[in-house]
Amino acid sequence: MPERIRVALVNDYELVLRGLADMLAPFADRLEIVQLDARERVSVNVDVALYDTFAQPEPDDEDVSRLVTNPKIRTVAVFTWKMDESLIRAATCRGATGYFAKSISGAELADGLLRVAAGESVIGSPRRRVPSGPGVDWPGREHGVSDRQSEILALITQGKRNAEIAELVHLSPNTVKTHIRTLYSKIGAVNRVDAVLWGSEHGFRPDHRSIDR
């Protein structure tokens, strides 16, 4: 196993990237974060690109393939709340060699990235959407917005309809509606326009709309 590896963090939201960097900061002796910019494709040589799926296309989307085919990236790992067997299979078929649940600790994630960089395939067990683990952060947390509500608000701010959101976050349409009602009460929104305005003012609008294009 390599003593120290170079890692690029990949997501469309600067807030998400900064939270992920903070989670991995205690392991700087083993992990060097060399790229942290939502506006740029991975442009330096890295051992692992860690793709955070917050408010992103699913891991079976072609974005994973783009990362895998980037010559600057040795291998790709996925960091997600969604541990559906079909998504895991699709991501690995597209070339990802790591698939990590957001319920794990920073130490477990750091160890997994080192193993992936060493050539192992490290894939979490399929299960329902997982709860957030220690160290995981998301936009709106300081306002009492839960992890699921945060992702739903990000997708609302992107202009997604409820049916699209339900498909992306792997929840039923009725559950999404319940989350939206609770979310509105937390942020003081009366309707979708209010929610979009609040989201735009609090970091829920993506800084860059397509991964690695």
Residue 73 lies in a domain: yes
Q: Which two tokens stand for residue 101?
A: 């649940």
Residue 128 lies in a domain: no
What are the tens digits of pLDDT across the range 49-87? 999 999 986 655 688 899 999 999 999 999 999 898 989
Distances 97 to 100, 123, 129 between C-alpha atoms, Å: 10, 7, 20
Q: Where does a domain end: 123, 153, 188?
A: 123
11 & 51 share domain: yes
24 & 85 share domain: yes
CATH code, domain carrying 99: 3.40.50.2300
| Single-letter amino acid code for the residue at 44 | V
Say what the pTM is.
Answer: 0.90
With the CA atoms of 62, 23, 38 and 120 taken in that order, what torsion angle do they form, in degrees rounded to the nearest 10?
-30
CATH code, domain carrying 177: 1.10.10.10
pLDDT in tens, the chain (213 residues): 778 999 999 998 988 999 999 999 999 999 999 988 777 889 999 999 999 999 986 655 688 899 999 999 999 999 999 898 989 999 999 999 999 999 999 999 999 999 999 999 999 998 877 888 888 989 999 999 999 999 999 999 999 999 999 988 888 999 999 999 999 999 999 999 999 999 999 989 887 654 544
25 & 104 share domain: yes
* Structural domain for 105, as ranges: 5-123
SS (H, E, C) the chain: CCCCEEEEEECCCHHHHHHHHHHHHHHCCCEEEEECCCCCCCCCCEEEEEEECCCCCCCCCHHHHHHHHCCCEEEEEEEECCCCHHHHHHHHHCCCCEEEECCCCHHHHHHHHHHHHCCCCEECCCCCCCCCCCCCCCCCHHHCCCHHHHHHHHHHHCCCCHHHHHHHHCCCHHHHHHHHHHHHHHHCCCCHHHHHHHHHHCCCCCCCCCCCC
181 & 76 share domain: no
Q: How many domains does the chain have?
A: 2
74 & 21 share domain: yes
10 & 113 share domain: yes
117 & 161 share domain: no
In terms of Cβ atoms closer than 10 Å to its own Cβ (0-12, 13-18, 19+), residue 61 is middle
